[in-house]
A = this chain, B = another copy of it.
Amino acid sequence: MKKPVQVYPDRVEAPHVSDATLREFAGYHMKRAFNVIQADVNRTLKPFELRMVTFSTLTLIVDNPGLRQAQLADALAVERPNLVVIIDELERRDLIVRNRVPTDRRAYALNATLTGHRLHGQALAAVRGHEARMFRDLDQATKDVLISVMEGIRQYPEGSET
């Protein structure tokens, strides 16, 4: 079977696009790779009607019963107003509940329901499968290096222009 012939008659322009300048930037490669990962994880979570952010949110609530929204927003690096709609969605699906905190009536303590725990267990297994798929070519040492580099970048303060 032969390649489909792409005819570009007396084309002057290059048939292949050079991205030599962009390729020097690690940030460019990260964006491209992250898009692939994001798409794959969302595909993976689709059967559970979860997205990356709703899965992460549910995970933190499962792991930290009684968490408040402000703490959660901080842990997820999500703005408080944006978290509200995420919490709304999880609560509407009866995966979590907002409980009033008796000692501070401004705040809510967030807890996963039984349904939430169950769904989370299933989704977690699926996400682990996704992770294995995405990083199957990496030995553990390389993956550890990758994670420690990401960790280092994440902790740069906002205005760290030295």
Contact = CB atoms under 8 A, between A and B. Distances in A.
A85 interface: no
A21 B71 CA distance: 17
Interface string A130-146: 11011101100011011
Interface in A83-114: 97, 99, 101, 103, 107, 109, 111, 113-114
Given A59-B21, A143-B26, A153 B37 contact: yes
> Which of the four size classes fits the interface of chain A?
35 or more
Nearest to A159: B43
Contact of A114 (B4, B31, B134, B138): B4
B71 A150 contact: no
Given A10-B103, A29-B154, A153-B134, A142 B145 contact: yes
Contact of A150 (B33, B75, B143): B33
Q: Which 6 A-B pairs have the closest CB atoms?
A: A29-B150, A33-B150, A13-B66, A33-B153, A17-B75, A8-B66
Given A20-B63, A32-B150, A33-B154, 12 more contacts: A6-B99, A6-B111, A13-B66, A13-B101, A14-B67, A22-B56, A22-B60, A30-B30, A33-B150, A35-B77, A36-B153, A39-B158
